[in-house]
Amino acid sequence: MKIMVLNCGSSSVKFQVIETSLEAIEANTDATLARGAVEKIGLSDSRLSLEVPGRKPHQEIAEILEHRAAVERVLKVLTSQEHGILADASEIEAVGHRMVHGGEKFASSVLVTPEVEAMIEECVVLAPLHNPHNLRGLTAARSLLPNVPHVAVFDTAFHQSMPPRAFIYGLPYELYTRHAIRRYGFHGTSHRYVSIRTANLLRRPLEELRVVTCHLGNGCSMAAVDRGRSVDTTMGFTPLEGLLMGTRCGDLDPAIVSWVLAMEDVTLAQLNAMLNKHSGLYGVSGVSSDMREIEKACTTGNRRACLALDIFCYRIKKYIGAYAAAMGGVDAVTFTGGIGENSALVRSHTLSDMAFFGIELDEEANVSAPPGQEVLVSRPGTRVAVAVVPTNEERVIARDTVRVLGRVMPSFAIPGNEAPR
């Protein structure tokens, strides 16, 4: 069945059409038929891009003022004779939506009903920068494709299995009961996907494995995945906590916030921007938030770029140790995300001198790891396997959509069955 996956941000709608089914999930043969994005929504030069495997990429520039118009445009290009892949929008049998925050209300993906939409609305307060846009896309897609089921897949849901000792902060407990302030964690679809793929790569059941997953992109987080369940993760109440990221500071003494407010001429909003947008690799190096630029600058002798790289890797190393302790051992460390998948230097620097821990990188395999492929880069026979697994959040969303529908609308699970209209 053809699933459309939507990921709506403040000024963008990213989409994919994925052909999948319960059998294809089992065989790992689901396929992306088309992918693309509408960017710069709200401006006069909004851009729609479409990529179809085996064809030249297609682009359109036109004023697209809001999310409904963007989704409408996506459906139009997908069904256009010249560029499309569908004869009619009714070929889309279901839509999977990426939702950033599900709070404590959602521990798994769900079929969207009016009640579910209202519950997602209640989570807006927890993610005011993300959930409103996700919701806008959801509402638009439901009105444009009213006869197909819509499924919401949450970034936070996978981490709902964390025990209280991992998610309660050392703050007055009332802040949790009154305002739901706790660790939620993000990138859940990615951590879940790569831990499953790691088990597959090792040909061992996930239920036997303790995996530390490292999602290193512009945003970075790690998770302790104990026999398939997330038991801890580095991002917290918001995505600001944990690792050093492209522009986010990660772990910090909270007293620094009031100190800087008192000592520098900045407003709270400016301080927030400082922590989220002007810190991390960018803030430390003064060069860039982009790891490729950092690596280049460090190689040519920029000391602050080298320092940023060093802090970046050191934090990952510390959390590997912490999560191994939390799980009573570790069987695999998995790298994913733009940096995790592509930077042999980051993997090598992070895992240096960890033989005492059972981690020994095969430097040759590490450097020659082919982009886009799932590979082991540890020395054969080492106690802890090191894996590189490209993440695919859209595929997880499409798969979850099929699974949820198989559960709540069993006719969906049977190949060849017509989708209910």
Q: Kindly tell me which residue out of 102, 246, 280, 390 binds ligand ADP, with binding defined by CB under 6 A.
A: 246
How far is it, in rounded angstroms, from Cα 222 to Cα 321?
12
Question: Can you say whether the dihedral through the CA atoms of 400, 404, 407, 413 is positive or negative?
Answer: negative
Instruction: Pick between residue 60 and residue 293 the one whose CB is nearest to ligand ADP.
Output: 293
* 129 class by beta-carbon count within 10 Å (0-12 exposed, 13-18 middle, 19+ buried): middle
Determine the 3-state secondary structure of 11 from DSSP. Answer: coil
CB atoms under 10 Å from CB of 202, counted, come to 17
To the nearest whole angstrom, how small is the minimum distance from the Cβ of residue 220 to ligand ADP?
A: 8
- The answer for 420, left when phi > 0, alpha when psi is -120 to 50, beta otherwise, is beta
Tokens of 404: 């949820």
Footprint of ligand ADP on 162-181 (CB under 6 A)? none
Q: Which of 264, 187, 201 is nearest to 230 (CA)?
A: 187
Using CB under 6 A as the binding rule, whether residue 60 contacts ligand ADP is answered as: no
Find out whether 26 and 45 touch, Cβ atoms under 8 Å. no
- From the list 56-64, 89-97, 284-292, 351-359, the region that binds ligand ADP by CB under 6 A is 284-292
Helix or strand holding residue 78 (H, E): helix 67-78
**E-state strands within 20-114:** 31-39, 47-51, 58-61, 92-99, 110-111
Tokens of 193: 């996907």
Footprint of ligand ADP on 397-416 (CB under 6 A)? none
Find out whether 376 and 387 touch, Cβ atoms under 8 Å. yes
Using CB under 6 A as the binding rule, whether residue 219 contacts ligand ADP is answered as: yes
* # binding residues, ligand ADP (CB under 6 A): 13
How far is it, in rounded angstroms, from Cα 418 to Cα 238?
41
To the nearest whole angstrom, how small is the minimum distance from the Cβ of residue 307 to ligand ADP?
A: 16
Using CB under 6 A as the binding rule, whether residue 392 contacts ligand ADP is answered as: no
Q: Kindly tell me which residue out of 55, 179, 292, 407 binds ligand ADP, with binding defined by CB under 6 A.
A: 292
How far is it, in rounded angstroms, from Cα 95 to Cα 32?
14
> Catalytic: 331?
no
How far is it, in rounded angstroms, from Cα 60 to Cα 72?
14
The number of residues in the chain equals 421
Catalytic residue selected from 155, 226, 232, 331 = 155
- From the list 15-23, 146-154, 217-225, 252-260, the region that binds ligand ADP by CB under 6 A is 217-225
Q: Kindly tell me which residue out of 12, 285, 343, 366 binds ligand ADP, with binding defined by CB under 6 A.
A: 343
To the nearest whole angstrom, how small is the minimum distance from the Cβ of residue 91 to ligand ADP?
A: 28
Residues 6+ apart with CB under 8 A from 368: none
Using CB under 6 A as the binding rule, whether residue 217 contacts ligand ADP is answered as: yes
Using CB under 6 A as the binding rule, whether residue 338 contacts ligand ADP is answered as: yes
To the nearest whole angstrom, how small is the minimum distance from the Cβ of residue 298 to ligand ADP?
A: 11
Using CB under 6 A as the binding rule, whether residue 337 contacts ligand ADP is answered as: yes
Q: Kindly tell me which residue out of 70, 243, 291, 330 binds ligand ADP, with binding defined by CB under 6 A.
A: 291
Residue 101, φ and ψ in degrees, nearest 5: -120, 125
Residue least distant from ligand ADP (Cβ): 338
Instruction: Pick between residue 251 and residue 290 the one whose CB is nearest to ligand ADP.
Output: 290
Helix axes 268-277, 255-263, angle to 10 degrees: 120
- From the list 49-57, 117-125, 146-154, 336-344, the region that binds ligand ADP by CB under 6 A is 336-344
Using CB under 6 A as the binding rule, whether residue 9 contacts ligand ADP is answered as: no
Instruction: Pick between residue 282 and residue 323 the one whose CB is nearest to ligand ADP.
Output: 282
- From the list 36-44, 177-185, 213-221, 260-268, the region that binds ligand ADP by CB under 6 A is 213-221
- From the list 175-183, 291-299, 373-381, 394-402, the region that binds ligand ADP by CB under 6 A is 291-299
**Where along the sequence are the contacts to ligand ADP (CB under 6 A)?**
217-219, 246, 290-292, 295, 337-339, 342-343
Q: Any idea which residues carry the catalytic annotation?
A: 155
